[in-house]
């Protein structure tokens, strides 16, 4: 039976031949799919070729070293390089989320805790916006439902890389996907006059942004309702039917957007969110790994079911999935998320390596 590496190299060579056929490009969707898969497999093929080359060079260096000790150092260097390449290949062969290179749509929803939860949701939104700014990503608020004290009952934001990320490499979604789940805060709310510490929660959902070619939506499957926007300030708010609610009849998924002044803009934003949700649902259904990962993005907002805690009295952030703790809460909420995200990514890679056979 062919190894996983042999199958991937054979697939890479087959796709290379197919992409060289002009007829393939008559179907643009198929051509894009093949090009994306070719880009995913190319790093594996390149490392495999380099392993073959270094293996040959090492054999030659060892033969020469047997006759002339001066070649021993060269042989040692090549052996170290070969070990590095083999480890690199092992990492590349570990299955990855096919959506890691995509941009993302991130939703934050207030949960248990009333107005304080909405304020915390606003803090989380600011944290992600500041992190995106640090990374040089672009952000766009697709829809927002603000609370009376300046927080958010729910908010959706698109996060996009400024440059195209090759398939198989980490993009916005690959970096942020572990943020999904219930985030808990412990602090004295601004609404608390007695100075008592309260616990509240907000939910975060991270989805890969879908392109139109990824999710085909039949207009006949949509029920589109328009209504008057609600919320503070701005022309057209509370004065025109610019808000849009889209119901996808086959699945029952409902998306509402009222952030923009025009009905058309709100419809486009709602469709972007709908496509992302439908793509995530399709991934759940088709792939058991994706389903397990998706299940970790807790849908309930119960304070006891959390992935991370932000403890203000102790200036502590704790991620309960990997045991990460740090006493730099202010910096984290200001967008310095790399350390905790690195810890989550490292734990995920270690788990996938442990479950992956040697090449």
Predicted confidence band at 291 (pLDDT cuts at 50, 70, 90)?
Answer: very low
Lowest model confidence (mean pLDDT) among 86-95, 166-175, 288-297: 288-297
Closest CA to 257 of 112, 110, 143: 143
CA distance 280 to 276: 6
Residue 286 confidence (pLDDT) above 90? no
Task: Give how far Cα 320 sits from Cα of 140, 231, 310, Å.
Answer: 30, 36, 11
Tokens 């805060």, located at residue: 185
| Residue pLDDT, tens place only, 34-46 | 988 888 889 899 9
Here the tokens at position 140 are: 């766009």
Residue 274 confidence (pLDDT) above 60? yes
Domain layout of the chain by residue ranges:
4-93, 104-351
12-36 average pLDDT score: 91
H or E element, residue 199: strand 198-208
Counting every residue, how long is the chain? 359
Residues with Cβ within 8 Å of residue 356, at least 6 apart in sequence: 90, 93, 94, 95
What's residue 73's pLDDT?
Answer: 92
Residues with Cβ within 8 Å of residue 161, at least 6 apart in sequence: 103, 137, 138, 171, 172
Under 8 Å between Cβ of 320 and 309: yes
| Residue pLDDT, tens place only, 184-213 | 999 998 777 677 888 999 999 999 988 766
Predicted confidence band at 358 (pLDDT cuts at 50, 70, 90)?
Answer: low
Residue 301 confidence (pLDDT) above 80? no
Residue 269 confidence (pLDDT) above 80? yes
What's residue 306's pLDDT?
Answer: 87
Architecture of 104-351 per CATH?
2-Layer Sandwich (3.30)
CA distance 280 to 295: 11
């Amino acid at each position: 039976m062919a190894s996983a590496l042999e199958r991937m190299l054979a697939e890479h060579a087959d796709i290379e031949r197919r992409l060289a056929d002009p007829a393939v490009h008559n179907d643009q969707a198929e051509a894009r799919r093949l090009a994306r898969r070719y880009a995913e497999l190319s790093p594996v093929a390149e490392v495999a070729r380099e392993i073959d080359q270094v293996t040959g060079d090492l054999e030659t260096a060892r033969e020469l070293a047997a006759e002339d000790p001066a070649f021993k150092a060269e042989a040692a260097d090549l052996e170290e390089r070969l070990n590095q390449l083999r480890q690199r290949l092992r990492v590349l062969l570990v299955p990855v989320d096919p959506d890691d290179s995509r941009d993302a749509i991130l939703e934050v929803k207030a949960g248990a805790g009333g107005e304080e939860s909405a304020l915390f949701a606003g803090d989380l939104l600011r944290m992600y916006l500041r992190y995106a700014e640090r990374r040089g990503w672009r952000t766009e608020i697709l829809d927002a439902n603000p609370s009376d004290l300046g927080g958010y009952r729910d908010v959706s934001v698109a996060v996009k890389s400024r440059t195209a990320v090759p398939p198989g490499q980490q993009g916005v979604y690959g970096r942020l996907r572990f943020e999904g789940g219930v985030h808990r805060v412990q602090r004295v709310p601004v609404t608390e006059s007695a100075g008592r510490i309260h616990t509240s929660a907000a939910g975060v959902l991270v989805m890969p942004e879908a392109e139109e070619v990824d999710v085909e939506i039949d207009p006949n499957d949509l029920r589109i309702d328009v209504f008057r926007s609600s919320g503070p300030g701005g022309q057209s708010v509370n004065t025109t039917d610019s808000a849009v609610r889209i119901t996808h009849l086959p699945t029952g998924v409902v998306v509402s957007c009222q952030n923009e002044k025009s009905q058309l803009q709100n419809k486009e934003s709602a469709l972007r969110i709908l496509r992302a949700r439908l793509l995530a649902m399709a991934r759940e259904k088709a792939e058991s790994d994706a389903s397990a990962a998706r299940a970790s993005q807790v849908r309930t907002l119960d304070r006891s079911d959390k992935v991370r805690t932000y403890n203000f009295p102790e200036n502590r952030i704790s991620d309960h999935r990997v045991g990460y703790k740090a006493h730099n809460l202010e910096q984290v909420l200001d967008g310095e998320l790399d350390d905790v995200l690195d810890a989550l990514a490292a734990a995920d890679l270690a788990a996938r390596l442990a479950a992956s056979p040697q090449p």
